[in-house]
């Protein structure tokens, strides 16, 4: 009886209860004239379980393909909700909201998720295991991204000291240069990302597998089951491939529809509530919209399955 209650009130089911807001938001948007602030709040609540569904389906698909294929699936689809929301906002001309969303997502992943995962893992394990080569690899990618993203900003700041007589022409030239650099750097970053996937999952995948070698891992003497295995599990609760792919497609379509509704209410909500675009994009959308992913990361840290984080 207790196991049934635990299954009924587990974290996934709590999030799935929020799915009731998905049809409610669509019906209110299509058939009723409702206040945009209310619709905005309901849309945020509807996005949370849809993002959770995307995350769960990728995890179920990952179980069918082992650690390497599973990691690739997680990397490919885990950020799909953010990408969909950014594309919808970009098409609506809300460029500041897109930038704020990116800032919130980056800070949320680097600081909030990682910090909370360390705390949760540290509450159970005295020492935690990390793949040092994996860490160095991702730190290098992070430094490359920061360096590339900093160049357009430095270029703009360096031209703020021009005289008033030449400000207009100088700024026009600077804006054009920044646009060219930004487009070029976007292609460069995408290329680096694709090459990093090829490096991780093809040419040097052995470097990123969990290992008991003390030179590669930080030892943890108080646990014997921290090393994740590459074997596929025969868990009867794992969804079939067809079911997982079908739910993934439906949840992504639903996320796109709700994102359209959310974006259409953002500007009026910001104006009426006197909220900043940075707050709405970075906090409300960037962090709240990815709560399921953050909770999943903490659950993996509690199991010390850091290879998936």
Please report the pLDDT score of residue 230 as a whole number.
43
Please report the pLDDT score of residue 26 as a whole number.
92
Question: Residue 20 carries which DSSP code?
Answer: G
| Rounded Cα–Cα distance for residues 91 and 263 (Å) | 10
Given a cut of 60, whether residue 239 has pLDDT beyond it is yes
Give the model's confidence band at 264: pLDDT under 50 very low, under 70 low, under 90 confident, else very high.
Answer: confident
Residues 290-307, buried b or exposed e (16+ Cβ, 10 A)? bebbbbbbbebbeebbbb
What integer is the mean pLDDT of 191-210? Answer: 78
Give the model's confidence band at 23: pLDDT under 50 very low, under 70 low, under 90 confident, else very high.
Answer: very high
What integer is the mean pLDDT of 169-182? Answer: 74
18-27: long-range pairs with CB below 8 Å, 24+ = 18/45, 18/46, 18/48, 18/49, 19/46, 19/49, 19/50, 19/53, 21/45, 21/46, 21/49, 22/46, 22/49, 22/50, 22/254, 22/258, 25/258, 25/261, 26/257, 26/258, 26/261
Q: Can you read off the two tokens belonging to residue 204?
A: 């040097």
Give the model's confidence band at 27: pLDDT under 50 very low, under 70 low, under 90 confident, else very high.
Answer: very high
> CB of 210 within 8 A of CB of 228?
yes
| Rounded Cα–Cα distance for residues 55 and 223 (Å) | 28
Q: How far is CA 146 from the centre of its chain?
A: 18
Given a cut of 70, whether residue 235 has pLDDT beyond it is no
| Rounded Cα–Cα distance for residues 96 and 197 (Å) | 29
Which has the closest alpha carbon to 280: 94, 101, 85?
101
| Rounded Cα–Cα distance for residues 265 and 47 (Å) | 14
Given a cut of 60, whether residue 57 has pLDDT beyond it is yes
Other CB atoms within 10 Å distance of the CB of residue 73: 21
Predicted TM-score (pTM) of the model is: 0.70
Percent of the chain's residues with pLDDT above 90 = 5
Q: What angle do CA 92, 148, 72 make, to 5 degrees?
A: 75
What integer is the mean pLDDT of 104-122? Answer: 81
């Amino acid at each position: 009886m207790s196991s049934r209650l635990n299954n009924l009130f587990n974290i996934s089911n709590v999030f799935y209860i929020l799915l009731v807001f998905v049809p409610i938001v669509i019906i209110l948007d299509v058939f009723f004239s409702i206040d945009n602030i209310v619709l905005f709040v309901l849309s945020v609540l509807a996005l949370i379980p849809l993002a959770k569904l995307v995350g769960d389906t990728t995890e179920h698909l990952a179980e069918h393909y082992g650690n390497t294929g599973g990691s690739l699936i997680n990397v490919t689809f885990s950020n799909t909700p953010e990408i969909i929301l950014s594309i919808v906002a970009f098409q609506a001309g809300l460029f500041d909201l897109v930038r704020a969303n990116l800032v919130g997502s980056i800070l949320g992943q680097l600081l909030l998720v990682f910090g909370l995962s360390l705390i949760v893992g540290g509450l159970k394990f005295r020492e935690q295991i990390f793949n040092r080569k994996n860490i160095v690899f991702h730190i290098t990618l992070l430094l490359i991204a920061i360096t590339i993203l900093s160049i357009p900003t430095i270029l703009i700041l360096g031209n703020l000291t021009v005289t008033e007589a030449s400000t207009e022409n100088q700024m026009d030239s600077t804006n054009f240069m920044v646009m060219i650099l930004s487009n070029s750097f976007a292609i460069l970053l995408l290329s680096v990302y694709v090459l990093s996937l090829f490096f991780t999952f093809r040419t040097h995948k052995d470097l990123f597998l969990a290992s008991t070698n003390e030179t590669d891992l930080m030892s943890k003497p108080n646990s014997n089951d921290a090393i994740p295995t590459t074997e596929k599990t025969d868990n009867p609760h794992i969804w079939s491939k067809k079911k997982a792919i079908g739910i993934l497609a439906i949840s992504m379509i639903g996320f796109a529809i709700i994102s359209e509704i959310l974006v259409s209410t953002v500007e009026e909500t910001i104006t009426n509530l006197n909220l900043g675009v940075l707050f709405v994009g970075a906090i409300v959308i960037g962090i709240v919209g990815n709560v399921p992913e953050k909770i999943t990361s903490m659950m993996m840290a509690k199991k010390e399955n850091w290879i998936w984080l």
